[in-house]
Structure 1
């Protein structure tokens, strides 16, 4: 915990910027519906972001969109850039063999952030794209990463999630069951998820990408639930997802 209270206005501004970056051009009312921030406050935030050059109003419309300046906010992520450059060719090769979407994600406080995906817009009910945040505890991608953490770090992460509201964090409030699930993940070497989020109709198997003994990302394969039974999916992709994660880790 920091020495000072967080700056509420800055947090609201970041919420608006994240919303525009994630959802695309939006009107004030849409941003209000998505974030819960009062419309007058949304307008002031948008005017400030426009003045700073991060947002622009689309010509002829009352919708706002991010500008190319937001790309500068990620310049510090050299490690992620290296990870992407190394993993990209490997992911593409495995995608051609699998015939199903494969995603690479990294841990970010309370979620996994998608770095690379071959999922088409709207495919498997969720339009994930680079930069999208997916639930940490309700996805194979997230649980594979957590299972690879040292126990002390894992318990710190779960403690930080326990007080967060909403179903995405319910598992942190039942730690005994979650820790048992993560122990099973470690035993098998991969995590499974079966349509656990209300937004998806996909099944996934994921494995942590480990470098120098620590997880740095995780990678998954996702199929539509109608494609094959869960047991058949696990038999077909459980071993290959471990091979993919190990290949990326070795290439780093």
Structure 2
């Protein structure tokens, strides 16, 4: 296999997209600095990507960013993820038995990506989450569930690299307090989102390891706080831990 991309322009096009995904909206000068390429080259690459609608430019700030066109590709990718064939029956059954919405996520850097959602049909309240959307690890049940299965050094690195924001009055923004929560998750085997990401919603979540035993996936049950009392959480804890065991057995 060649160590160098035989089509240099393709290599540079993807470098631009990867950089924009990493940095978010940037000016032409900033992008040139990140890529160490001259202005005319980067401008041509951006013009090509804009023509193909993978990149857009803000008319007010002049900054460039990725468009939502990539989401279409990601949704097609999701349809080919093998693990979904394994977990879908278990999660569908979980949603039917509990009457609540169930999410399945995959770890992606500092965030979790929703790759499956089983909406509850037993109540009229719908969760705003969508397949393909992302949620930070530090303020989500699924995130804390996966982080609890990581070494302490990795947990701290994720925290330090994350943009910690107090999204709700309940969001934990102190690392010492967060570390204590992670210890609780390790002891109990499940994590909670106590309105830390969205007011009025509580979640209970557990991690699911990949075939190498790495914390790569997680699933959760989400519901309005009116249906997620502490007593209800205790009932659901036994259920989600059992479903986790079933999924792990199927993946062996």
- Pairwise TM-score range, normalised by the shorter structure: 0.5 to 0.7
Greater fraction of residues in helix: 1
- Alpha-carbon deviation of 1:182? 0.5
Gap runs ≥5 in structure 1: 1-5, 17-43, 56-64
> What residue in structure 1 maps to residue 189 of structure 2?
189
How far apart are the structure 2 equivalents of 1:45 and 1:221? Answer: 43
How far apart are the structure 2 equivalents of 1:68 and 1:156? Answer: 28
> What residue in structure 2 maps to residue 115 of structure 1?
115
**1:220 alignment partner, SS class:** strand
Gap runs ≥5 in structure 2: 1-14, 26-43, 56-66
> What residue in structure 1 maps to residue 41 of structure 2?
none
- Alpha-carbon deviation of 1:126? 4.7
Per the normalisation by structure 2, the TM-score is 0.66
- Alpha-carbon deviation of 1:98? 1.3
| Matching residue within 11, 20, 24 for 2:20 | 11
Q: Does 1:213 align with 2:213?
A: yes
For 1:189-232, what per-residue CA distance to the aligned partner results, in whole angstroms no more than 9, with x for missing partners? 101122222x3421111011124432121111112111242x11
2:75–2:132 contact (8 Å) kept in structure 1:
no
Aligned-residue RMSD, C-alpha: 3.8
Structure 1 segment 4-153 matched on structure 2, within 5 A: 10-11=19-20, 48-49=48-49, 51-52=51-52, 54=54, 70-71=72-73, 75=77, 81-119=81-119, 126-153=127-154
How far apart are the structure 1 equivalents of 2:153 and 2:137? Answer: 18
Per the normalisation by structure 1, the TM-score is 0.66
How far apart are the structure 2 equivalents of 1:106 and 1:72? Answer: 13
